[in-house]
Amino acid sequence: MSMIGFSGQPSERVIFFTLAQLCVIILAARVAGHIAARVGQAAVVGEIIAGILLGPSLFGLAMPVPFHWVFYSIPSGSLDILSQLGLILLMFQVGLEFDFSHLKESTNRRAVLWIAAASLALPFVTGLGVGFMGAPLLSPLADRWTSALFVATAFSITAVPVLGRIMMELGMTRSRLGVIAISAAAMNDVVGWLLLAVVTALTLARFQWSTFLVNVLLVLLFVLVWLLVVRPLTKSVMRYFNAGPEMSPTLLGGILVSIFVSGMITSLLGIFTIFGGFVMGAILHDERAFVKIWQEHVAPFVLVFFLPIFFTYTGLRTDIAGLDGAVLWMWCGLILVSATVAKFVGAYAAARIAGLNHQEGKIIGIMMNTRALMELIVINVGYDMGAISEHIFTMLVIMAVVSTVITTPLLRIWLPRNRMHSEKRASPSEC
């Protein structure tokens, strides 16, 4: 190592190792995404797993010297900043991709409302109970209720972007079940992000209700100002620059500043910057020309460059080998099973109440179990706040990956069965 020089500049050392980290992260993500697609999974599933494997769970365990050379030769600040910056842009993108017209769809509205409510409420209550029971052992340094609330929020979330990709690969985007599932997931996530904002505000207020209520009112005021003032103002600016087939550099610069200012304001209000990015995207979701240009020209860079950094940043915090006792693995199993079952049962029962058949209920139940990226965001917020320990963080990462990995294989099995069931029901009337 002493043979390597950095031109006498400390900044050159930081840049060198940051570039080394990025090379490893991007290459691993692309390879893992390609492998995941080849075995019938969404590419993002492979990228998540790659991020975890680059951490102490595999890379650090199998090759500790190269691992420490790549990731710990310099402080983790640069990777942390890039991860958080990418997350703000990603949440803006998630807001842009929300199709709120689904929430107004009269067809199947009863099913959507039932499924959205049940698949949020039952996992939340289950997670609250599991988190409250496990907190003294698993997160002894955190406030018990704070830890339980973050576990409950992680249990409740559904990953709309990942679910959307899975549906596209299986040709479900325009099917009745697809519309119901994505609509329910969209409602689930809107409430889920608001819930995360509320839980964060409550935690930062240290359960002082007067402070908490002030924070909530400020967040509501922020949302109203963004809807009633910033939204029409931004739209007017976009009309003036008229994106056309290409995005004006000035317009792109203005949008980026708006995203960052939005994140700064939510940070000052006592909730994380990512919520500001999400709200900024949500108020522009119906600007179709802009959304199309963003998805074609900017989104690929965010997904290829920034997203794997976030997954790796999560992976560096995930130490599966740290679950080194039978008790910890029993708790991990309890978290995995209870989260999956609560989400599935809630969605399935609601689907049946709304008039869907048994096969359709099973399909809805497993689709709503897709957590992946969204849960990783929630638990990183909780970890940064000290609300959950490294042990619970690792358990929730495992739960997020497993609940997402099982979705596509089960859909490939259950969708043909549902078609056969529908054909059998239709055949008597055709005779």
Per-residue pLDDT tens digits for 112-125:
889 999 999 999 99
Domains observed in the chain: 22-418 (1.20.1530.20)
Measured distance CA(125)–CA(422) in Å, rounded: 34
User: Which residue's structure tokens are 């109970």?
Assistant: 129
Tokens found for residue 378: 């929630």
Distances (CA, A) of 265 to 194, 223, 277: 16, 11, 10
How far, CA to CA in Å, does 212 sit from each of 200, 245, 368, 378? 10, 45, 31, 19
E strand intervals along 208-306 = none
**Tens digits of residue pLDDT in 184-224:** 887 887 787 778 878 887 777 776 777 777 777 888 899 89
**Pick from 415, 423, 422, 400: nearest CA to 157:** 400
pLDDT at 384: 87
Please report which confidence band the pLDDT of residue 3 belongs to, taking 50, 70 and 90 as the band edges.
very low
pLDDT in tens, 9-68: 778 888 899 999 999 999 999 999 999 988 878 788 898 899 999 999 999 999 999 999
Average pLDDT over the chain reads 85
Residue 192: per-residue pLDDT = 79
| pLDDT, position 427 | 52
DSSP state of 228: I
User: Radius of gyration (Cα) for the chain, nearest Å?
Assistant: 22
Q: Which of 91, 104, 47 is nearest to 284 (CA)?
A: 91
Among 17-26, 92-101, 244-253, 288-297, which is the least confidently predicted range?
A: 92-101
| Closest alpha carbon to 408 in 166, 181, 185 | 166
CB of 382 within 8 A of CB of 390? no
Instruction: State pLDDT tens for residues 248-289.
Output: 888 889 999 999 999 999 888 867 788 888 889 889 988 888
**Structure confidence at residue 6 (pLDDT):** 59
Of 87-91, 172-176, 362-366, least confident by mean pLDDT is 172-176
Q: Classify burial at 399, counting beta carbons within 10 Å of its beta carbon; exposed 0-12, middle 13-18, buried 19 or more.
A: buried
Statement: residue 422 has pLDDT above 60: no
Kindly provide the b/e burial profile for residues 204-228, where b requires at least 16 CB atoms within 10 angstroms of the residue's own CB: bbeeeeeebeebbebbeebbeebee
Mean pLDDT of 125-153: 92
